[in-house]
Amino acid sequence: MAEYVKPIPLADGTTRPFWESLKAHQMKIQRCNDTERFFFYPRGLSPYTLSDNISWETVSGRGMIHAFTIVHQNRAPGFVDELPYVVAMVELDEGARIMSNIIDVTPDPEHVRIGMPVEVVYEDITDEVTLPKFKPAS
């Protein structure tokens, strides 16, 4: 694997189950059991009730594009070589939203659309870290 030069996330004690689930090519996010609502990013408590009554649940990895941009200018290492590319908010079927890239799509507003169904792709960027990317649903 060529050297990975983009920012590599580093888990903390409250987010580690998310990153470990991705490494196993699953996606676990948290649910508030008081309200039965999912939330993301991971937190040490429910953002809806401030309660500890939260749990990690495996989710489908399916969702749809809620908002997006097509990046044409970014001098940062790694990204500069991939212009243009798509950054989007994906609304998961379970309700939470996650930022990611949409891959395997022509980076053009004629081909990327809000409401488009997408599914997760696990991208192993290092031996330790896997990113959740999304592609148009098959």
Partner 1 sequence: MSALSGRTAIVGVAESDKIGKVPDKPAIMLHAEAARSALAEAGLTRDDVDGLFTAGIQTTELGEYLGIEPRVTDNTSVGGSSFVIHIAHAATAVATGRCEVALVTHGESGRSRVGMMPRPTPPDSLRGQFEAPYGLPQPVGAYAMAASRHMYEYGTTKEQLAEIAVATRKWAQLNPKAYMRDPISIQDVLESRMIAWPFNLLDCCLVTDAGGAFVLTSMERAKDLRQTPVTVLGFGEGHDHAMISQMPSYTSFAARQSGKTAFDMAGVNHGDLDLAMIYDSFTYTVLLSLEELGFCDKGEGGDFVSDQRTAPGGEFPMNTNGGGLSYNHPGMYGMFAIIEAVRQLRHDYADEGVRQVSNAQLAVVHGTGGVLSSAGTAILGRA
* Residue with tokens 């659309």, as numbered in its chain: 113
* Residue with tokens 């996330």, as numbered in its chain: 9
Q: Which stretch binds partner 1 (CB under 8 A): 23-31, 48-56, 83-91?
A: 83-91
Among 1, 3, 36, 72, binds partner 1 (CB under 8 A): 72
81 lines the binding site for partner 1 (CB under 8 A): no
At its nearest, how many Å lie between partner 1 and the CB of residue 79? 4
Among 34, 49, 56, 70, binds partner 1 (CB under 8 A): 70
Q: For 106-138, b where at least 16 C-beta lie within 10 A, e where not — what string? A: ebeeeebeeebebebbbeebeeebbbbbbebee
Instruction: Classify strands 37-39 and 85-92 as parallel, antiparallel or unpaired.
Output: unpaired
Of 121 and 125, which CB lies nearer to partner 1 in the complex structure? 125
Q: For 14-31, b where at least 16 C-beta lie within 10 A, e where not — what string? A: ebeebbebbeeeebbbbb
Q: Which stretch binds partner 1 (CB under 8 A): 22-30, 50-58, 95-103?
A: 95-103
7 lines the binding site for partner 1 (CB under 8 A): yes
98 lines the binding site for partner 1 (CB under 8 A): yes
